[in-house]
Protein backbone atom coordinates (compact mmCIF):
# COMPACT_ATOMS: atom_id res chain seq x y z
CA UNK A 1 0.00 0.00 0.00
CA UNK A 2 1.18 3.46 -0.78
CA UNK A 3 2.21 5.87 1.94
CA UNK A 4 1.99 9.38 0.55
CA UNK A 5 4.22 12.12 1.85
CA UNK A 6 5.72 15.50 1.00
CA UNK A 7 9.22 16.81 1.67
CA UNK A 8 9.64 20.59 1.63
CA UNK A 9 13.14 21.89 0.89
CA UNK A 10 13.47 25.18 2.77
CA UNK A 11 16.75 25.95 1.02
CA UNK A 12 14.63 26.43 -2.08
CA UNK A 13 11.33 27.89 -0.91
CA UNK A 14 11.14 31.53 -2.00
CA UNK A 15 7.87 32.41 -0.30
CA UNK A 16 6.27 33.17 -3.66
CA UNK A 17 2.83 32.06 -2.40
CA UNK A 18 2.06 30.11 -5.56
CA UNK A 19 1.13 27.00 -3.55
CA UNK A 20 -1.18 29.15 -1.43
CA UNK A 21 -3.15 30.50 -4.37
CA UNK A 22 -2.93 27.39 -6.54
CA UNK A 23 -4.59 25.56 -3.63
CA UNK A 24 -7.23 28.29 -3.31
CA UNK A 25 -8.06 27.90 -6.96
CA UNK A 26 -8.04 24.11 -6.85
CA UNK A 27 -10.01 23.66 -3.65
CA UNK A 28 -11.96 26.93 -3.41
CA UNK A 29 -11.56 27.29 0.34
CA UNK A 30 -13.44 30.12 1.96
CA UNK A 31 -11.99 33.52 2.90
CA UNK A 32 -9.42 33.46 5.75
CA UNK A 33 -8.84 29.75 5.21
CA UNK A 34 -5.55 28.75 3.62
CA UNK A 35 -4.73 25.07 3.42
CA UNK A 36 -1.26 26.07 2.27
CA UNK A 37 0.41 28.83 4.23
CA UNK A 38 3.76 30.55 3.98
CA UNK A 39 5.43 31.66 7.17
CA UNK A 40 8.07 34.36 6.89
CA UNK A 41 10.67 33.72 9.54
CA UNK A 42 13.28 36.37 10.21
CA UNK A 43 16.34 35.88 12.33
CA UNK A 44 17.92 39.25 12.97
CA UNK A 45 20.97 37.77 14.66
CA UNK A 46 21.76 35.45 11.80
CA UNK A 47 20.56 38.03 9.27
CA UNK A 48 18.44 35.34 7.68
CA UNK A 49 14.94 35.28 6.18
CA UNK A 50 13.38 31.87 5.68
CA UNK A 51 10.07 31.00 4.08
CA UNK A 52 8.27 27.96 5.42
CA UNK A 53 5.49 26.27 3.49
CA UNK A 54 3.08 24.86 6.01
CA UNK A 55 -0.04 22.69 5.76
CA UNK A 56 -1.68 19.56 7.20
CA UNK A 57 1.01 17.02 8.06
CA UNK A 58 -1.10 13.95 7.35
CA UNK A 59 0.33 12.43 10.52
CA UNK A 60 0.76 8.70 10.96
CA UNK A 61 -0.65 9.20 14.45
CA UNK A 62 -2.94 12.15 13.99
CA UNK A 63 -4.01 13.73 17.28
CA UNK A 64 -7.01 15.23 15.51
CA UNK A 65 -8.35 11.76 14.80
CA UNK A 66 -8.07 10.76 18.44
CA UNK A 67 -9.61 14.02 19.63
CA UNK A 68 -12.78 13.78 17.56
CA UNK A 69 -15.59 12.30 19.62
CA UNK A 70 -17.71 11.69 16.56
CA UNK A 71 -15.21 9.54 14.67
CA UNK A 72 -15.40 12.05 11.83
CA UNK A 73 -11.69 11.92 11.07
CA UNK A 74 -10.15 8.90 9.47
CA UNK A 75 -6.87 7.85 7.97
CA UNK A 76 -7.01 6.08 4.63
CA UNK A 77 -4.86 3.04 4.03
CA UNK A 78 -2.55 5.24 1.94
CA UNK A 79 -2.06 7.51 4.95
CA UNK A 80 -4.14 10.48 3.81
CA UNK A 81 -6.08 11.95 6.74
CA UNK A 82 -9.56 13.17 5.85
CA UNK A 83 -12.60 14.62 7.56
CA UNK A 84 -16.03 13.09 7.08
CA UNK A 85 -18.43 16.01 6.91
CA UNK A 86 -21.44 13.84 7.46
CA UNK A 87 -20.18 13.03 10.95
CA UNK A 88 -18.43 16.32 11.74
CA UNK A 89 -20.40 18.54 14.11
CA UNK A 90 -17.87 21.35 14.00
CA UNK A 91 -17.02 21.38 17.71
CA UNK A 92 -13.36 21.99 16.84
CA UNK A 93 -11.75 19.46 19.18
CA UNK A 94 -9.62 18.44 16.24
CA UNK A 95 -8.47 21.98 15.62
CA UNK A 96 -7.54 22.32 19.28
CA UNK A 97 -5.69 19.02 19.26
CA UNK A 98 -3.59 19.73 16.17
CA UNK A 99 -0.18 21.04 17.27
CA UNK A 100 0.42 22.32 13.74
CA UNK A 101 -2.63 24.56 13.64
CA UNK A 102 -3.64 22.95 10.36
CA UNK A 103 -7.40 22.60 10.88
CA UNK A 104 -9.99 25.37 10.54
CA UNK A 105 -13.71 25.41 11.10
CA UNK A 106 -15.14 26.65 7.80
CA UNK A 107 -16.47 30.18 8.15
CA UNK A 108 -19.68 31.22 6.43
CA UNK A 109 -17.90 34.09 4.67
CA UNK A 110 -17.74 34.16 0.87
CA UNK A 111 -15.54 36.20 -1.43
CA UNK A 112 -18.60 37.68 -3.10
CA UNK A 113 -21.44 37.60 -0.57
CA UNK A 114 -24.59 35.93 -1.89
CA UNK A 115 -23.01 35.61 -5.30
CA UNK A 116 -21.61 32.35 -6.52
CA UNK A 117 -19.18 32.66 -9.40
CA UNK A 118 -19.97 30.35 -12.33
CA UNK A 119 -17.18 27.92 -11.48
CA UNK A 120 -18.41 27.69 -7.89
CA UNK A 121 -21.90 26.59 -8.90
CA UNK A 122 -22.52 22.84 -8.77
CA UNK A 123 -18.82 22.29 -8.40
CA UNK A 124 -17.20 19.03 -7.33
CA UNK A 125 -17.66 17.96 -3.71
CA UNK A 126 -14.03 18.60 -2.81
CA UNK A 127 -14.51 22.28 -3.69
CA UNK A 128 -17.47 22.74 -1.33
CA UNK A 129 -16.93 23.79 2.26
CA UNK A 130 -20.06 23.78 4.40
CA UNK A 131 -19.83 26.46 7.10
CA UNK A 132 -19.32 25.15 10.60
CA UNK A 133 -17.59 21.96 9.50
CA UNK A 134 -13.90 21.30 10.04
CA UNK A 135 -11.68 21.53 7.01
CA UNK A 136 -8.06 20.84 6.21
CA UNK A 137 -5.74 19.95 3.36
CA UNK A 138 -6.81 16.73 1.65
CA UNK A 139 -3.41 16.27 0.00
CA UNK A 140 -5.47 16.83 -3.17
CA UNK A 141 -6.70 13.28 -2.82
CA UNK A 142 -8.93 13.86 -5.85
CA UNK A 143 -5.82 14.51 -7.93
CA UNK A 144 -3.87 11.62 -6.44
CA UNK A 145 -6.76 9.30 -7.34
CA UNK A 146 -6.49 10.63 -10.89
CA UNK A 147 -2.75 9.90 -10.96
CA UNK A 148 -1.63 13.50 -10.37
CA UNK A 149 0.41 15.18 -7.67
CA UNK A 150 -1.12 17.59 -5.16
CA UNK A 151 -1.36 20.96 -6.91
CA UNK A 152 0.84 22.72 -4.33
CA UNK A 153 3.65 20.36 -5.27
CA UNK A 154 3.05 20.51 -8.99
CA UNK A 155 2.75 24.30 -8.99
CA UNK A 156 5.81 25.08 -6.84
CA UNK A 157 7.92 27.57 -8.78
CA UNK A 158 11.04 26.78 -6.76
CA UNK A 159 10.68 23.01 -7.13
CA UNK A 160 10.89 23.01 -3.35
CA UNK A 161 8.40 20.20 -2.75
CA UNK A 162 8.73 16.51 -3.44
CA UNK A 163 5.63 14.33 -3.35
CA UNK A 164 5.74 10.58 -3.43
CA UNK A 165 5.20 7.18 -1.92
CA UNK A 166 7.47 6.42 1.02
CA UNK A 167 6.84 2.71 0.54
CA UNK A 168 8.33 2.84 -2.94
CA UNK A 169 12.08 2.35 -2.45
CA UNK A 170 12.79 3.71 -5.94
CA UNK A 171 10.95 6.98 -5.39
CA UNK A 172 12.77 10.30 -5.15
CA UNK A 173 11.05 11.03 -1.86
CA UNK A 174 12.31 7.77 -0.41
CA UNK A 175 15.85 8.77 -1.38
CA UNK A 176 15.51 12.21 0.18
CA UNK A 177 13.85 10.92 3.33
CA UNK A 178 17.09 10.63 5.26
CA UNK A 179 17.87 14.30 4.69
CA UNK A 180 14.49 15.42 5.97
CA UNK A 181 13.25 16.06 9.47
CA UNK A 182 9.77 16.31 11.00
CA UNK A 183 8.35 19.32 12.80
CA UNK A 184 7.50 18.87 16.48
CA UNK A 185 8.79 15.29 16.59
CA UNK A 186 8.29 15.32 20.36
CA UNK A 187 4.54 15.38 19.86
CA UNK A 188 4.73 11.81 18.59
CA UNK A 189 2.49 12.52 15.62
CA UNK A 190 4.88 11.15 12.98
CA UNK A 191 4.03 13.74 10.35
CA UNK A 192 4.35 12.73 6.71
CA UNK A 193 5.14 16.26 5.61
CA UNK A 194 8.82 16.73 6.39
CA UNK A 195 11.41 19.46 5.86
CA UNK A 196 14.92 19.80 4.57
CA UNK A 197 16.47 22.45 6.82
CA UNK A 198 19.12 22.90 9.46
CA UNK A 199 18.47 21.80 13.03
CA UNK A 200 18.63 25.32 14.37
CA UNK A 201 16.15 26.55 11.77
CA UNK A 202 13.88 23.68 12.74
CA UNK A 203 14.01 24.85 16.35
CA UNK A 204 13.14 28.37 15.26
CA UNK A 205 10.13 27.13 13.33
CA UNK A 206 8.99 24.99 16.25
CA UNK A 207 9.28 27.89 18.67
CA UNK A 208 7.18 30.03 16.39
CA UNK A 209 4.71 27.21 15.87
CA UNK A 210 4.23 26.71 19.60
CA UNK A 211 3.70 30.41 20.10
CA UNK A 212 1.24 30.73 17.25
CA UNK A 213 0.05 27.40 15.84
CA UNK A 214 -2.08 29.11 13.19
CA UNK A 215 1.17 30.35 11.68
CA UNK A 216 -0.30 33.74 10.93
CA UNK A 217 2.14 35.73 8.86
* Interaction site with another protein (CB under 8 A): 11-18, 20-22, 24-26, 31-32, 42, 44, 47-51, 82-87, 111-112, 115, 117-119, 122-128, 130, 138, 141-143, 145-146, 148, 151, 154-160
Whole-angstrom CA distances from 4 to 80, 133, 208 are 7, 25, 27
Question: Which is nearer to another protein, 29 or 184 (by Cβ)?
Answer: 29
Q: What is the DSSP letter of 134?
A: E
Q: Cβ 186 to another protein, closest distance in Å? A: 29
Contact 93, 103 (CB under 8 A): no
Cβ neighbours, 10 Å, residue 188: 11
Contact 123, 116 (CB under 8 A): no
Q: Cβ 15 to another protein, closest distance in Å? A: 6
Q: Cβ 104 to another protein, closest distance in Å? A: 14
Question: Which is nearer to another protein, 22 or 184 (by Cβ)?
Answer: 22
Contact 43, 204 (CB under 8 A): yes
Q: Cβ 99 to another protein, closest distance in Å? A: 21
Exposure string of 168-185, with b = 16+ CB inside 10 Å and e = fewer, is eeebebbeeeeebebbbe
Burial of 75 (0-12, 13-18, 19+ CB in 10 A): middle
Amino acid sequence: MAKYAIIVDLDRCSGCMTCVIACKQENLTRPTVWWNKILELEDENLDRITYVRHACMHCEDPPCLAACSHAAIFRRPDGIVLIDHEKCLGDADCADACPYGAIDINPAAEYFPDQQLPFEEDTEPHRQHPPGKAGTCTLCVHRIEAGQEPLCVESCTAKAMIFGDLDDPDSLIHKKLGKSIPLLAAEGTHPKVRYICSDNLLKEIETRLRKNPKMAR
